[in-house]
Structure 1
Amino acid sequence: MKKVIAIFFILLSAQSWAQILQPAKWSLEVSNPDAKTGEEVDLIFNVKIDKDWYLYSTDFDPDLGPMVTEFEFIPHESYAIVDSLAPVGAKKKYDELWEGEYTYFREKGKFVARVKILSENPEIKGSYAYQVCTDVDGKCIPFDDEFSFGELLGAKAAATKPAPAEEKSEVKESESKETKEGVLNQRGVNDPYSLWAFMIAAFLAGIAAIFTPCVFPMIPMTVSFFTGKKKGLGVLYGLSIIIIYTLIGSLLAPFMGPETANELATNWIPNVIFFAVFVIFALSFLGLFEITLPSKFVNNVDKQADKGGFIGVFFMAFTLVLVSFSCTGPLVGTILVESAGGLILKPILGMFAFSMAFALPFTVFALFPSLMNNMPKSGGWLNSVKVVLGFLELAFAFKFLSIADQAYHWNLLDREIYLAIWIVIFTLMGFYLLGKIELPHDSKTEKTSVGGLMLAIITFSFVVYLIPGMFGAPLKALSGYLPPQTTLDFDLTSSRGAGANAESTICEAPKYADFLHLPHGIQGYFDYEQALACAKEQNKPLFIDFTGHGCVNCREMEARVWSDPQVLKRLKEDFVVVALYVDDKTELAESQWFKSAYDGKMKKSIGKQNADFQITRFNNNAQPYYVILDTNGELIPPIKAYDLEIANFVAFLDEAKAEFKKRQ
């Protein structure tokens, strides 16, 4: 009787974990179901989220950690994307574990894209992938599905897969208006903090441009022209400079908008081009050559400036822009490159902020000529500013090459190589600031200025900060610019605490170990069949960790529970460990594909196959999810999920180990 009761409770416990959860239910709608050819229409993705669950949005750094929601439209000649998909009303939160800010939705969410209809019966299809999590028991679940707006355009609006019939969207006119306003607001002020930071950086670039040898000497020459004339002409001169640069941003804005983001994220060509452009700019600033415009063009513009009046003032400003191009061109180009893939307004606002700073001294000195007496004299220090900018341009050039390198696995810029390049660049910059290095256009100096000394101290301090990164220090302040830490060939932090018995859990070289990893020096596998074979060989229970790259609570379990010496010792010595990533995008050879018995879809990637295994074998789709099997692949209850109590996890491992011994 006791055995019957025990079996009953084991089955009841297993059943409590065995459930396929669907916390997010999606529905589709369009702003104008009767849209005709040539008209624009909003495609609206609505999602209803269960209580105590939240869904990650699309607009935060994908390298932060959590899985960013992604939408992919299949290109078709029947439509064209006007405004890329954007979230409406997403909330923001700072996460201490990931040390960054992410965006998310609770209860309900909304994403909107605008397209132009190019033909009748447009074929608008695609797919989306997302992750939902709950703080109640720590589950995180990745999902993916397909969408089609074919039935919604030119037909009655109805919710489409995967939303059930009762979830059909009924949006009132006021809600539709709210949606459009929300999208406009979201696109206009998407991540305002980063936009403001970009404008501040552009403003500082404008100030830096003033202190270059092409611009600084022109201030007294230009302002003297306005002395004794109407002050309004001096103000008009400054406004003309702002208008010219802002027009440059406006002309390029359509080519630098959100659609460019996909290319920058996935294609090596623009990133390599940007890398080359930055290197050319850097070499120009360092004095190898000058980037100049055709003299005939500049002279023709200069002739227009001689006509006087408002038109003459405008062309004087235009002449200044052209003459100073060899110094300002690289800075302007940098701003435009950095604005690529952002908002449509980003290049316009960047040029406006740059020109505001650039025009400031010309306007102020034209209004108050007496201030010229307090202005520092031209000299070799102007070229020093230009050279320092060259060092910075060269360092940031490798950011773009690194993006292409990671996306296509060229393995040219592993983390230690990237850091070594930066360490050398900034070390040379520090010596230059101390006057130990002379470049082609430098003036000889016998003494180091106080300002140069302070900048050298800052530069060398930064170099000292970088050096530990060569051996595994995380350098969290630079995480957005550096290659992943897993690309390090020599990482002291990962080898720390590996344990003497760590190698005993390995029977053969693990598959996928070149890009998948276990924490805390744990040696294990990333393929179920390989791990089970090793468990049989070593006669140990098999510990399965259903995890994901974007699973926040998985990382928290590893950081706060797995790192405990009691837990770590057991995982290394008593079990064969396999980590099955359910969201890994690596596509396998066609011979390894299979059709799922669960949803009838072809499973082509490592992540989709692992997710299907979790669902079909354990009737569960949440992470983190920990199960332990015997050497025959049979489940050893209980099952464990998110639980930060170390004692509970130790008891879970010990109970499974004891049951495994009984079965022997």
Structure 2
Amino acid sequence: MAAVGGRPGGTFAGAAGLGFTSALIMGPCVTAPLAGALLYIAQTGDTALGAAALFSLGLGQGVPLLLLGAFGSRALPRAGRWMQVVNRIFGFIFLGMAAWLAGRVVPPAAGLAIWSGVLAGVFLGALDRPESGAAPTARLRQAAGVATLLAAALMGVGVASGGDDPLRPLAGLRLGAPRHDSEKAVAFTTIRSVPELEEELARTDRPAMIYFTAEWCVSCRSIERRVWPDPGVQAALSEMQVLAADLTTFDADSQALLDRLRSVGPPTMIFLDAEGREQKETRLIGEPGPADVVASARAVQ
């Protein structure tokens, strides 16, 4: 081993320590694609393609580390003023990701307030005095900062007016306008346990849709904005029994409900025919479009 950490005289123990800590850092980043590849192998049984995918994943992760280990700092770009721009960009991304994750566990209005604070805190020099002869990129950055600061102000107004959606912060100011939420667009019956599910299904012999949702589910709010207000979706579900399995307060009953319908969590839509059987390829997981919901609903009617 010629060098460890850029200094001559490194040891195998030092190299092993660096490798161990690198694995700790890279492990969480690799978990998602690794789980996806293993799930694909388990579902399809295509071991050849699965082995090739795992080999490509390991190659893509390992080659950059080998190159950096072989060439050290010579393989990295030199630091300069451009790094300040990179730091700001990644700082904005990290703060935005933190606000997005926080929006899953805090009330919607609080999530909008967080977005307002994040955007206001990274306004990219919107209030800086432009230097004479500034480069076009600097002026573009300042223009982006002004737009960001304006977006933060709109979100702040949205919080004060009762808004809860970062994409539509001023929706609360539309006096008299109908709210596009699940209660207004589709007449859901809320259930929270297996006995409630069986009781509701026994009330009628119509086809049914069970929609797993929760207040902390960000994707569910997107579905409420894009899917349920759609006229085609409302027409397709008008002849069906529509149940909303509320998992907001997750407890033993919620877990039993998930196990009963073999679901992993919200958002999930399960379509049952008039005899209570789920048809193949009708289950929708994630954020489907209106056309997907209509197709699944028509398949069980």
TM score, norm. by length of structure 1: 0.21
Report which of the two has the higher share of strand.
1
Structure showing greater Rg: 1
TM score, norm. by length of structure 2: 0.43
Report which of the two has the higher share of helix.
2
